[in-house]
Homo-oligomer: A and B are copies of this chain.
Amino acid sequence: MAVSVLAYATANPGDTSDFERKLSRFDPRRIRRLAILGKTEGNADSNDFSRELALLATTRAIERIGGPALLARTTSLFSTGCEGAYTPFGYLFVDAEEARARRRRPGRPGSGLALGVGRSRSLKAREVGTVAHARIVADTVRKAMRDAGVKAAQVGLAIVKTPVMPHVAAVEEGKAEERRITSHDSKAVGGLGAGIALGEVSGRAVTPARIGADHSLHARRAMVFSGSEVDYVEVLLLGNKPGAGGGLAIHSTQIADVLDARSIKRLLVKAGLRLDRFGEVADSERVAAMLLKVGFAPDGRIRGRRTTILTSHIDHDKHLRAAASGILGSMLGTTEFFISADTIHQAPPGGGLCACIVRRRG
């Protein structure tokens, strides 16, 4: 088994032509796990249906190629919002039995990229945003660790999708008067839950009063997404597994703020990449995947100065994704990377995290 990571292009959220091309390189029967992390280009507001379109189109494509059996082994996560110098596209993760020619030679030890997934039961609207929800996230991350065959210390990144019950549904369930769970709240418990499973947050510390309030509690290797199209928690986990093949490794780090290019560069250097004298990555073709999640301080300031992040007609996350795209783009010389925002309980306020999957040299 070895995990391959391929980027596929899209002409629009419903376009699966390159996805199908890339997927057809693999024999569907040899695929243990298929995972998709896609970025779509909708308006990233409540009337954005680009994720739903991408999911429906990709589902149909997988069915065509591998039937319901392959679909059942697939985990898909689409994130919308593609502002700045940024390309809508997708990463395809394929955990497959290696074809003979590609199998690693005995003389090549070391660890390789491992992939694991997990899915929880359906949540009830009243559970979303609670301590119980956080525990469900923790359990689902642990399930994905077992699936990947890695321990907490070997995890590079846990990608978590948690549900948001839409307003109307909540009203119908008669809960709207009590509390309104936002996408932000759902991500909060997602971060805490992942942190518990990864050993970064004490399970005991996660109490109702501290959810969304005590920002000293946070995971360090989790990126959390939310969506109203799921009512369950879903995890896509990436780690470095001793003895695994594939020639890829994942590295991750926390960053201090959206402008903290230095921490990202340190991560890349640690991953074995080389910076030129302008601080740009000289061998960026070795980067198989680049993922960044950025946040903002409660007062909206950056490096002590006022910004419009919180005082604009444009949602704060769009400001952040676009600014970050310039940073990654000028560092890597491309616009193909994955950027997302809202790092609640995934980093200290204003901070974020970055993960890269890098091909081994030679």
Contacts and interface: CB of A to CB of B under 8 A. Distances in A.
B49 A53 contact: yes
A278 B262 contact: yes
B168 A312 contact: no
Interface in A194-231: none
Contact of A42 (B47, B276, B277, B307): B47
A326 B261 CA distance: 9
A308 B168 contact: no
A291 to B, nearest CB: 16
A122 interface: no
A334 B303 contact: yes
Given A49-B14, A50-B49, A277-B275, A313 B311 contact: no
A163 interface: no
Nearest to A279: B279
Interface string A259-277: 1111001100000000111
Interface of A: 9, 11-14, 40-43, 45-50, 52-53, 56-57, 82-88, 166-168, 171, 176-177, 258-262, 265-266, 275-280, 298-300, 302-303, 305-314, 318-320, 322-327, 329-331, 333-336
23 contacts: A13-B52, A14-B49, A42-B49, A43-B43, A47-B50, A47-B313, A49-B49, A56-B57, A82-B308, A84-B84, A84-B307, A85-B258, A168-B310, A168-B311, A258-B329, A261-B280, A261-B330, A261-B331, A262-B330, A318-B322, A322-B323, A323-B323, A327-B329
